[in-house]
Structure 1
């Protein structure tokens, strides 16, 4: 069973199309002929973004490095969005060379990202270099074997956060990571791929109903309110530790 791709013909939400047009204008003006292609991923690409809550996530592919002007260009774009598009909470931009994308080594990284999680909005669509993907342990482990590192980083960020806003941002990021990683753990059995974190948790419970309370607590962390730090750390330590061990067990078993 092959995984679904995001329909590139489905129009973007009207609240986001002006921002997408502005983004492309700045990238084309700043990079010129060095710009190879541009992709959206995340909720804006899936047309499920919520104004005032959703980021716009972008992948910029260039023909050559632009490390000398990268920081200035990206900061200018982010400043522009803060001024003109108040309903977009943040602009996240990843950059990569075209020569690094279309390679055998990138099958489970850039290949999967562009094929099943992104929409090309400008230039030559490199996702066409890759065939259809099937749910597999190779995909799951590539995207989630780093969950132990994420837990350490965000446990520390939450513990050290000095404001409710800072804590909420951190707890939402790690909750999304854990919910997605939970479903990826069973993806090779479920034969499906989900990006929405709530749906990931729901599907995971079909295989691990004993973890219902943990998934409910992670969903609470997605809300726009600060949870007592001790409770958040407790969730990360209990379910996070279990998840890390399960990934190691599965990798040992499947290889």
Structure 2
């Protein structure tokens, strides 16, 4: 959902930050309160620099029983297996305790890595514009003000071609309808985000809303608009339909990856 100028921008043309704690819907307030307490207790100030919410919950657009809780932790050092294990335990506890979320996901990164040249327009942008502070000092104060440029497009989603082979393998190995639904949500959301950032510099704004992203993409690529609308609906309400997954992974995905590289270039590989 756009804000500010109507294109998700601040008055100076930089991308406005999404989400705020005061946008939390009542159903999700206790989930966030417990998540905040568990993260602080588990990681402590010696390991945790800051914690953030992202996604539909801090944007105030979450659907009880359907939406997941998305959390990003910035640690003082590079994440370890012990850190990942602690995060997984918190995810499982939240999922068990709160039926209003369809799972919890906690991403881990190091605070210092966000300032590297490699991550400044990828993970740094994510923290500064797409994340809502939950704990600790906000790293956004030390990061750039971002604009809807080709550089941002390339660094955020310019690696789709490298992701698709893994998704083909995951589809082949998906044994249950639940496996396919989880894969469908992940693939569909990534497809819509990539479709939107493909056209983002031409449109000149920012949105994370799936339906709006698909609609904006369709203005520039009407021949692919119906497929992108299907991707948006799958991202919102995942289904285990192999035909839809095949369309996303074998048809729309490869076309989108090639068009993206032609327009914005390819993101440098991460080691």
Among 151, 160, 165, the residue aligned to 2:173? 160
Root-mean-square deviation (Å): 2.2
| Mapping 1:12-161, distance limit 5 Å | 12-34=24-46, 35-65=48-78, 67=80, 69-161=82-174
Residue in structure 1 matched with residue 208 of structure 2 by the alignment: 195
- Which is further off, 91-100 or 108-117? 91-100
Residue in structure 2 matched with residue 245 of structure 1 by the alignment: 258
Residues of 1 paired with 2:233 and 2:45: CA distance?
46
- Which is further off, 64-73 or 234-243? 64-73
Is the contact between residue 62 and residue 97 of structure 1 (CA under 8 Å) also seen in structure 2? yes
Gaps of 5+ in 1: none
- Which is further off, 23-32 or 70-79? 70-79
Is the contact between residue 79 and residue 110 of structure 2 (CA under 8 Å) also seen in structure 1? no
Number of matched pairs: 252
Instruction: Give the secondary structure class of the aligned counterpart of 1:206.
Output: helix
Q: Deviations over 1:83-137 (max 9, x none)?
A: 2112211221112222222444432023211111001111100001123211011
Among 213, 218, 240, the residue aligned to 1:226? 240
Instruction: Give the secondary structure class of the aligned counterpart of 1:92.
Output: strand
Residue in structure 1 matched with residue 196 of structure 2 by the alignment: 183
Decide whether aligned partners of structure 1 residues 37 and 161 sit closer, same or farther in structure 2, where only a CA change above 3 A counts.
same
Residues of 2 paired with 1:105 and 1:245: CA distance?
22
Q: Deviations over 1:28-80 (max 9, x none)?
A: 21222212111111111212111111111111122235626324422321231
Q: TM-score normalized by structure 2?
A: 0.84
Gaps of 5+ in 2: 1-12, 267-271
How much has 1:208 moved relative to structure 2?
1.3
Decide whether aligned partners of structure 1 residues 7 and 162 sit closer, same or farther in structure 2, where only a CA change above 3 A counts.
closer
